[in-house]
Structure 1
Amino acid sequence: MAKRPQLTGRAAILAVVVCAIAMSLAYPVREYISNRRHIAELEAQKSRVEAERQALAEEARRVSDPNWTKRTVKERLHYCGQGEKCYVIARPPGQSTQKVAAQQQADPAPWYQKLWETIEAADNGTGQKAPTGEKSGK
């Protein structure tokens, strides 16, 4: 009996056809996956833009309200309408009265003493402020 070859002509042709089909489908499948990814990115961008559009529409609605405009003018520009009494507290924002008092206690030297110390430092040529406890004998 003759031994049959393991790879016949028909099997070889079948293998070549299967490889050709796989190779011809690889590029379109890759493009399909790439396009699906791009569509998902565009949908995410669209939702972000839509959310921003809604926020801007809400802000436009709020700005068109005359009460919001009056309140904003009073807060930002310290506008005072006719017949109103308005007060402005000259303190940096966020600084409480306790912080101001603590800062005043921590720095008890008056302004003129600081000025004199800087003048003395300039005369000495040090360019730095003289120590607070030290007095010059000039």
Structure 2
Amino acid sequence: MSLGTRRAAVLAVVVCALALALAVPLRTYVSQRQELASTAATQAQLTGEVARLQGQKDQLGDPAYVEAQARGRLGYVRPGETPYRVQLPDGVDPSTGAQQQASTATAPWYSELWASVSGGGG
């Protein structure tokens, strides 16, 4: 072999050794950066959740809010007050008060029964 060929071979071996020596730390660095970004995103999410829960805790410490929840959810009233509860008939939408259309078939019940017995499906 000539001197130039030997130098090229030694240079190739040195370059390969450097590439192998740098590959593992570089891969570790990249994976740690990804893990750090994921952890930072999780921390931001948890910080937001802690703030939301702290606000909820502060609300529950307010007697006016607790009273409003008890009145709205549980139907509590103060002594001396008269509670009223409006019951709408079936088929009436409470938000609009409009009568809802029945979505059932107009066939009488006995024809549906006969269809199911005779194997017609119904």
Normalised to the residue count of structure 1, the TM-score between the two structures is 0.65
Matches of 1:64 and 1:31 in 2, distance apart? 48
Q: Give the aligned length.
A: 106
Equivalent in the alignment of 1:29:
26
Structure 2: tracts of 5 or more residues without a match: 103-107, 115-122
Question: Following TM superposition, by how much is the alpha carbon of 1:8 offset from its aligned partner in structure 2, in angstroms?
Answer: 2.1
1:5-41 C-alpha deviation (Å, 9 max, x unpaired): 5942122112111110111100110110000000000
Alignment correspondent of 1:81: 78
Aligned partner letter, 2:75: H
Structure 1 unpaired stretches of 5+? 107-116, 130-138
User: Please, what is the CA RMSD of the aligned residues?
Assistant: 2.9
TM-score (norm 2): 0.72
Deviation at 1:98, TM superposition (A): 2.1
In structure 2, relative to structure 1, the CA distance for the partners of 1:127 and 1:47 (3 Å cut) is: same
Q: Are residue 128 (structure 1) and residue 110 (structure 2) matched?
A: no
Larger radius of gyration: 1
Whether the aligned pair in 2 keeps the contact of 1:78 and 1:88 (CA below 8 Å) is no
State the match for 2:47 in structure 1: 50
Q: 4+ runs of 1 displaced by more than 3 Å? A: 4-7, 91-94, 126-129
